[in-house]
Structures are given as structure tokens and as C-alpha cells.
Amino acid sequence: MDMKPINAAQSYAAARPATEPGVNKSVPMGEAAREVAQDFASTLQQTEATAKAAMVGEADPHSLVQALAQTELAVETAITIRNRVVEAYQEILRMPV
């Protein structure tokens, strides 16, 4: 695999805006949750498509591993969010009325 510094720099520059916080973005909570769910679903669909392509020899193993790592991160994030919501709900139930 041939890695050139210019390719790494270009990839970094392309990915950088995704990690920057949004400036003055006032998105309602329901809208933000919907966007997160859509991103999660699209990540799963892309990984499934990559896996199918790898099975028939149309995708290289590197792209399959990368897609699986993305999906693993997305699933772990969803599980962490779910656990936090359940913990918060249980804490509310323990509050005296």
C-alpha cells in the first residue's frame, strides 16, 4: 500500500470540518435526534453494501475493515447513549415525590 504525505494531508483536511463544533447551530432536540438516527442507519447501510461487495470480490479488504470499524464505533456509541438514558430514567424513578 502506497501512502503519500499529500494524500494523508488531504484526507485530514477533508475530515477536519466533521470534528469541529457547529457555530450558532440552534437545532431542536428532536431534529438532532432524528439526524443522529438517520446517520446511524446510513452507516449501517453503507457497511452492509461494502460487506456485500467484498463477498463478491468488488471491494478491497481494507475498505471492508474500515467500514466494520465505523459500524462498531457507531454501535458502541448507541449503546452508551442508551445506557445513559436508562440510568437517568432509573435515577428519576428513585427520586422522592
pLDDT tens track, the chain, 97 positions: 455 666 666 666 776 666 666 655 677 888 888 998 899 999 999 999 999 999 998 888 899 999 999 999 999 999 999 999 999 999 999 998 8
Length of the chain: 97
Q: Check residue 20 and give its pLDDT.
A: 66
**71 contacts: CB under 8 Å, gap ≥ 6:** 43, 44, 47
Task: Say how far apart CA 74 and CA 55 lie, in whole Å.
Answer: 22
Q: Check residue 28 and give its pLDDT.
A: 85
Q: Check residue 36 and give its pLDDT.
A: 87
Task: Say how far apart CA 44 and CA 34 lie, in whole Å.
Answer: 15
Task: Say how far apart CA 93 and CA 4 lie, in whole Å.
Answer: 56
How many beta carbons lie within 10 A of that of residue 43, not counting itself? 16
**46 contacts: CB under 8 Å, gap ≥ 6:** 67, 70
Instruction: Confirm if 11 and 3 have CB atoms less than 8 A apart.
Output: no
